[in-house]
Structure 1
Amino acid sequence: MNIAPEAQGKLKDLLYHFNVNVAMSHKVAKYLAPFSASDKEALRQEFELRLKENLLGAAEFRRFTACSARNEETARQFFKDVHAYAFEDGEETDVADYWNR
């Protein structure tokens, strides 16, 4: 799958909404609203590709949330839940449900 670099940058921007220091996860829909259908689809595909290839784990959880995940499995679940929230009308993802306290 050949994904445009713009989609990669937009995915990073989307995931940074979950950084606990800025706490903007409630603004994900507003962030995605101005995207064209094709841009949103490219972003969704990039996200799904990274999930499929296990490229989103504990290290990425730390990078995007500024917290440590309980473990790799929990970190991967966080990203799956963020995907559901952003693209499937899932519930807002709370970082506190996934971090190592």
Structure 2
Amino acid sequence: MSSMNISPEIEGRLKNLLAHFNVNVAMSHKVAKHLTPLPASEKEALRQEFKLRLKENLLGAAEFRRFTACSARDEKTARQFFRDVYAYAFEDGEEPDVADY
């Protein structure tokens, strides 16, 4: 999942954030609790990296499968899921339900 010149710490934090949506652990409701203790600079770096991956279409059906343990209906739906996760984590959006994708 590596992208550009991301630090290993931010890479790990992004993987951890997305792993909250694995249906086998069902911890998506704890995303805010996961992000709250992060220093503002780390949270911003994480937000920027997530946003960059969305912009460059680096999060799709394969990543959906990897992080949710489910198959998305299609590539477009998988991409929407990650946009919705971003909105949930960083813009006070609705909590996405993996089953909807």
Q: Same fold (TM over 0.5)?
A: yes
Q: Which runs of 5+ in 1 are unaligned?
A: none
TM-score by length of 1: 0.94
Query: Which position in structure 2 is the counterpart of 1:38?
Result: 41
CA distance in 2, matches of 1:2, 1:31: 23
- Shift of the alpha carbon at 1:5? 2.2
What is the total number of aligned residue pairs between the two structures?
98
TM-score by length of 2: 0.94
Query: Which position in structure 1 is the counterpart of 2:25?
Result: 22
Equivalent of 2:95, from 85, 88, 92? Answer: 92
- Shift of the alpha carbon at 1:11? 0.4
CA distance in 1, matches of 2:83, 2:38: 21
Aligned-pair identity (%): 83
The one-letter code sitting in structure 1 at the alignment partner of 2:26 is: A
CA distance in 2, matches of 1:16, 1:61: 10
State the superposition RMSD in angstroms: 1.0
CA distance in 2, matches of 1:18, 1:35: 19
Query: Which position in structure 2 is the counterpart of 1:57?
Result: 60
Secondary structure (helix, strand or coil) at the match of 1:90 reads coil
Equivalent of 1:80, from 72, 83, 86? Answer: 83
